[in-house]
Chain A
Amino acid sequence: MVIEKIIYKKPESLTDCNFTYCSGCGHSTVHKLIAELVDELGIREKTIAVAPVGCAVFAYDFWNFDVSEAPHGRTPVVATAIKRIHPDNVVFSYQGDGDLVSIGLAEIMHTANRGENISVIFINNTNYGMTGGQMAPTTLLNQVTTTSPMGRNSKNYGYPIKMIELLVSLQGVKYLERVKITSPASILKAKKAIKKAFLNQINGTGFSMVEVLSACPESWKKTPREAIKWIDEEVSAYYPVGKIKDIE
């Protein structure tokens, strides 16, 4: 007789709604990692997320904990206020690169500089996915997008912003790590980094941000497999993965 044992199930922190992201998109992976972590840390009933404007605006359809919308780029500001009102809750903002690096640059810099005790999950897929693949401040040089059809050139559009390296000098910032999700091993590393960002908040350490290099095969005009290869070879060459800052 075979005894069946449940060794894996859908996290309680995910709703029954199927992910609606494109094939190979990194959002589904990171959403699931977060839901698993919220379950593992036993914080579903005290977690409040703030979703960005961009593809992940629909995060509230998939997570079964409290979620607020925010105007484009104001995501960490809304998270700041929620955390100040409910300091015992776990509050995180989830933002893409258009939201965080472009329209919300002032917001993330000042949230970080104030050392707000929140966690920021920053999804960098080097373009505006939601609106059809326009150039972002994070778009790599020579990368073709719908608004840089000849490839991004530095003469007109400057250089891709390395957000973590920009934040590193701020004293209010306690933890910065860049991860990728291109293999089972790197996904586990990403999960560990996000867990640390949550634990830092729970322990009162202060502002923590994890940047996830994430695939956008649809806009990149690549297959999911090609997209992962491009992250491993090109994107992570410009945006090196690893722990950049960690102050206990």
Chain B
Amino acid sequence: MLGKTIKMPQETVFIKGNHAIVEAAIDAGCRFYAGYPITPQNEIPEYMSKRMPEAGGTFIQAESELISINLVFGAGAAGARAMTTSSSPGISLMQEGISYMAGCEVPGVIVNIQRGGPGLGNIAPSQSDYYQAVKPGHGDFHSIVLAPHNIQEMYDYTVKAFDLADKYRIPVIVLSDGLLGQLMENITLKKDQETEYLDMPKDWALTGAKGRDGQRILSLLMRPGALEKHNEHLREKHRTICDNEIQYECFSIDDDIDCLIVAFGTVARISKGVINIAKDMRIGLFRPITLWPFPYMKINELSKRVKKVFVFEMNYGQMLDDVKIAVENSDKIEFYGRTGGGIPTQEELYQFIKARTKGRGY
């Protein structure tokens, strides 16, 4: 029942971010989706309820996000490519399942179209689930976290999420937000892109014990030392991911820059606009694409070449903690964040840089 990618010519479409997630999942061979209504991601389950049956897969409208994530757990355990999507409060409910997936080494993709929090918050875009994404659930583990900043990347990194999930048998989180979910752009659908792990054998999956003894998907390891050994195995896997999967974008970074902006997702997009209007300053943007594994070394290296490191986020400073770990002299760091659904304008960020550099751009 594992899905096959149907090879089709590349196709350019004008598409909403939430719809791009759906097309990406189908093109990546995902044939199992479960989701529960929550704004601002409702277009995903709605569109998926049409597209997934067309592709011959299973769509289930779950009765809660707890049920969504555990359906994904079961489908993943059975060897299928599976996905769920939600927005911040719903992702909170999924933390239990994500931890079980990590412990049981069941692959799966979780998309978070973030909204304002805490609590029920609001339905405006936010980046305030950064902590929850990079340090999810209970227990010693990581999920891979991918942060797109335009609609092409919503598509590309959702496809990539499935490959990474299968390659490492790990839950992968696509951390987006309500702005990117609702935004429409031209993108190229690459129907046969990067699915190198689509057909990788899953001999660990539960398919029925044909010609073999029964096998198990489990995370309960009660015998003395067994869990410590298992977690050490997970740590080795995490190290391999850190060595091989870090992704980032350097925008307008040359030898002459005085200031470095570090921003991801929507705020990185706005920061590119800041650089375009700040003709009087020499500023570059460093954009982490993998939030875990985080590109500490690259930020460390770049920070030594500049006088100021600006961290911009749509939260009160969550990625900021990781930048502080990366930058040796934290006096260089200046933070500006908006929260509760506030979106900084490029003018606002530009004026902040000017104020903190006495108008000189450093």
Give residues in A with beta carbon < 8 Å to B: 15, 44-48, 50, 57, 60, 63-71, 74, 77-82, 84-86, 89, 106-107, 110, 114
Contact = CB atoms under 8 A, between A and B. Distances in A.
A131 to B, nearest CB: 14
A18 to B, nearest CB: 15
Most A CB within 10 A of own CB, among B210, B215, B218: B218
Interface string B65-82: 011001111110111101
B210 A71 contact: no
A170 to B, nearest CB: 13
A76 to B, nearest CB: 9
Contacts of A46: 208, 210
5 contacts: A45-B211, A66-B209, A66-B216, A81-B72, A114-B60
Interface in B174-231: 206-211, 213-220
B63 interface: yes
A67 B60 CA distance: 23
Contacts of A60: 214, 216, 218
A70 B73 contact: yes
Contacts of B310: none
Given A45-B211, A46-B210, A69 B100 contact: yes
Most B CB within 10 A of own CB, among A48, A78, A106, A114: A78
Contacts of A69: 100, 104, 216-220
A48 B64 CA distance: 24
Given A57-B220, A67-B214, A110-B67, A81 B209 contact: no
B120 interface: no
Given A44-B209, A77-B70, A86-B208, A68 B217 contact: yes
Contacts, number: 125
Interface in B69-98: 70-75, 77-80, 82, 96-97
Nearest to B208: A46
B208 A70 contact: no
A129 to B, nearest CB: 16
B305 to A, nearest CB: 47
Size category of the binding interface on chain B? 35 or more
Nearest to B79: A85
Contact of B97 (A44, A66, A68, A71): A71
Given A45-B211, A78-B70, A82-B74, 10 more contacts: A64-B214, A67-B217, A74-B97, A77-B66, A77-B67, A77-B74, A81-B72, A81-B75, A85-B80, A114-B60
A47 B210 CA distance: 10
Contacts of B208: 45-48, 65-66, 86, 89
Nearest to B101: A71
A106 B74 contact: no
A16 B31 CA distance: 37
B100 A71 contact: yes
B77 A68 contact: yes
Nearest to B216: A60
B214 A65 contact: yes
Interface in B22-79: 32, 34, 58, 60, 63-64, 66-67, 70-75, 77-79
